[in-house]
Amino acid sequence: MPTDTDRSGKVPRVLVAIGVVSTVVWEAWFQKGPLGYTASDKSTVQYAAAGTTPLALIACVFGIAFFCLLMRTELRVGDFTVAPLWRRYAAFLIDLWFFLFIFANVTATIPLLLEAGRTKLFQWHFERDYLVSSDWAMGVLILMCFAMMLAYFVLPLANRRQTVGFWILRIAAVSSDGSVLSLPLSIAIRRIYMDFTELFSPFSLWKIAKGRDARPRTLSDRETGLIVVHY
């Protein structure tokens, strides 16, 4: 399989980063109506909405195809330095947005199709102030979201691969000699869980602001014997 060993991929990384940022800009300023699916039932207030667009689904197809390409690309790391914490935060934020944008838009087609079956009219968006029996899909989608998000972060770590955010920012979790290891699933899951709970704590944010951690090693780094590097 192809490997990622040098800095020749700068242009593709910039292009992919621009693509990710453009989805944020489009969602924040140009998209009319919600993307994804939501339903709530609080006391007397009931609400359900779902929506996506053909353009968003096309972007999702490209995103999924690119992630599949990354999963076929075995990572190799040459010269490296310890990655600063800001790169790790940025990579996680990119990954969270990348995953949620794709998941929300792709799975929004399920309630849209269910609604079309109920009303006999397909639309790219609907909102209503009442719930129907097909809204049970919301609970299933929430469970799917957690399971697939876990797989998105864990499988690359367990198979010498990278997530999109880690690839864009050229960072990887390696052993002290720079070797990229295939972690057992149980260890990969624990590491991802510890990374999220520790990196997104107020104390870690304070350390970044103060710049006191020149060689950042989180608890998960110390426990698994890995370091996160920039190569």
pLDDT in 10s for each residue of the chain, 231 residues? 555 544 557 899 999 999 999 999 988 887 777 788 888 877 778 888 999 999 999 999 999 999 999 999 988 888 888 888 889 889 999 999 999 999 999 999 999 999 999 999 999 999 988 888 888 878 888 899 999 999 999 999 999 999 999 999 999 999 888 888 888 999 999 999 888 888 787 776 666 555 555 556 777 787 888 889 998
- Is the pTM above the cut of 0.85? yes
Angle between helices 54-71 and 137-158 (to 10 degrees): 30
The pLDDT assigned to 161 comes to 94
Domain residue ranges in the chain: 3-230
**What does the DSSP assignment read for 78-137?**
-S-EEPPHHHHHHHHHHHHHHHHHHHHHHHTHHHHHHHHHHHS---SEEEESS--GGGGH
The pLDDT assigned to 204 comes to 66
* Secondary-structure breakdown of the chain: helix, strand, coil percentages, each rounded to the nearest 5: 60, 15, 30
